[in-house]
Amino acid sequence: MEVTRKVYGHFFKIDRSELARRASERIDILTEAELAEAEKAGNGEADEARDK
């Protein structure tokens, strides 16, 4: 793994904190969409999801 990182590492110079922030943002968007769909269905899944 270390050899791979040394050879190819310059191809992947990214800000991991920015990547994590973007991933978290997308997860939040998906979660809200799922909750909205559950509320539309009216079957109580939204309440269960919010309690977690």
pLDDT of residue 29: 96
pLDDT 10s digits, 27-52 = 999 999 999 998 888 876 656 665 65
Q: Helix/strand/coil (H, E, C) string of the chain?
A: CHHHHHHHHHHHCCCHHHHHHHHHHHHHHHHHHHHHHHHHHCCCHHHHHHHC
pTM over cut 0.75: no
